[in-house]
């Protein structure tokens, strides 16, 4: 008999949840550590959520496709082949049912966990504390109708808006570079998605029907030197003064593209200079906007890599071409 701490029942049909209109958002918790289960349950109930079920990870592995709540929280600090298989099945089920996943893990287990959760756009946390889990839950709840949950705090909403705006600004600036200088894209298209009639990796035609030559990406030794210079600042000044995880990741992936190296999500988190959970949030946003591309390893299900998309690579190439005309070493 599964060791379920709380169970309030739910309607199910063909393994798909049937929600009652206006009913509180329901939550399912899988965690082996009892104190984690208890704190998650307390936080969920304090937020006005209904705890559908709560139990050890083994319950998930025994029946990963059973009817679940609207949100599923999984604490998975270690993985083995069985755990990966269970998470993969949960990922597929969540994607088809519209269930939102929040999965916490460790830096050592991050790569296989990231690789097997590629369908449901989960929220990943690395060695989170209680505050990290509460913030993650708040971000997920922001996607539900207000009638089904309590209002997020002003601080939570501001944090979400700032992250979205920052990534949108980055996308817009890179798109402007890829469009080669003064050419403007259709203002009716959001800069958040690189949406335009221009194909990825190609600058628009000029008035004579010709495309400007695409500049090459910079020498990776130059990019690595810039990265080292940026890291050197933290030896003399507070590193938080210069925190810019998106740019650090863009530089790392630019160098890796020229070096023909594949970059794992763990490696990219380290390159960002930000805490892993923060870096994962940035990676998720950058993938969602199309700046980065997630590439699965066909030969090993436990690995996935992050790359620049073609248009982002072109934007970086044009950036380095531009700064080379004004400064010997851009930092």
Separation of alpha carbons 328 and 259, rounded Å: 22
Q: What angle, rounded to 10 degrees, do the helices at 220-232 and 245-259 form?
A: 150
* DSSP-assigned letters across all residues of 181-244: TT----TTS-TTTT-SSSPTT-PPP-TTS-PPPPPPPPPHHHHHHHHHHHHHGGGTS-GGGG--
pLDDT at 130: 84
- Inform me whether the pLDDT recorded for 77 exceeds 70: yes
Q: Using the 8-state DSSP alphabet, how is residue 127 labeled?
A: S
Which range has the worst mean pLDDT, 1-15, 29-43, 75-89, 114-128? Answer: 1-15
Mean pLDDT of 194-200: 37
Mean pLDDT of 21-27: 70
pLDDT higher for 301 or 187? Answer: 301
Q: What are phi and psi of 53, to 5 degrees?
A: -160, 155
- Inform me whether the pLDDT recorded for 273 exceeds 70: yes
The CA-atom distances, in angstroms, between 103 and each of 55, 59, 154, 311 are 15, 15, 25, 31
Mean pLDDT of the chain: 77
Mean pLDDT of 43-57: 83
Which of the four CATH numbers 3.10.450.50, 1.10.10.10, 3.40.190.80, 3.40.50.300 does domain 220-324 have?
A: 1.10.10.10
Share above pLDDT 70 across residues of the chain, in percent, rounded to a whole number: 69
pLDDT at 87: 92
Separation of alpha carbons 312 and 170, rounded Å: 10
pLDDT tens track for 221-252: 999 999 999 988 888 888 778 888 999 999 99
pLDDT higher for 227 or 175? Answer: 227
pLDDT higher for 144 or 105? Answer: 105
- Full-prediction pTM beyond 0.95? no
- The ranges assigned to domains in the chain are 6-152, 220-324
6-152 belongs to which homologous superfamily? Response regulator (3.40.50.2300)
- Inform me whether the pLDDT recorded for 115 exceeds 90: yes
pLDDT at 265: 95
């Amino acid at each position: 008999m599964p060791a379920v701490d709380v169970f309030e029942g739910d309607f199910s049909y063909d393994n798909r949840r049937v929600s009652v209109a206006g009913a509180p958002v329901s939550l399912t918790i899988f965690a082996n550590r009892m104190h984690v289960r208890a704190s998650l349950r307390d936080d969920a109930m304090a937020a006005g959520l209904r705890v559908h079920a709560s139990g050890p990870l083994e319950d998930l592995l025994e029946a990963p496709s059973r009817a679940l709540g609207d949100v599923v929280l999984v604490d998975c600090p270690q993985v083995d082949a069985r755990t990966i298989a269970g998470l993969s099945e949960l990922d597929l089920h969540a994607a088809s049912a519209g269930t939102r996943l929040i999965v916490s893990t460790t830096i050592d287990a991050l790569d296989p966990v990231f690789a097997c959760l590629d369908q449901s756009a989960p929220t990943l946390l690395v060695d989170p504390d209680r505050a990290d889990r509460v913030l993650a839950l708040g971000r997920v709840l922001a996607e539900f109708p207000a009638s089904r949950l309590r209002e997020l705090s002003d601080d939570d909403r501001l944090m979400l808006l700032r992250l979205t705006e920052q990534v949108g600004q980055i996308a817009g600036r890179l798109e402007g570079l890829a469009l080669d200088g003064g050419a403007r894209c259709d203002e009716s298209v959001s800069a958040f998605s690189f949406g335009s009639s221009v194909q990825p990796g190609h600058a628009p035609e000029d008035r004579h029907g010709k495309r400007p030559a695409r500049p090459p990406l910079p020498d990776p030794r130059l990019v690595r030197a810039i990265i080292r210079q940026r890291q050197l600042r933290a030896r003399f000044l507070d590193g938080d003064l210069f925190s810019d995880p998106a740019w650090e990741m863009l530089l790392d992936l630019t160098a890796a593209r020229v070096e023909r190296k594949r970059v794992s999500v763990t490696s990219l988190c380290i390159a960002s200079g930000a805490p892993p959970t923060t870096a994962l949030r940035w990676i998720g946003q950058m993938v969602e906007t199309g700046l980065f591309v997630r590439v699965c390893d066909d030969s090993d299900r436990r690995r996935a890599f992050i790359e620049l998309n073609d248009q982002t690579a072109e934007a970086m190439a044009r950036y380095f071409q531009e700064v080379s005309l004004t400064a010997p070493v851009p930092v």
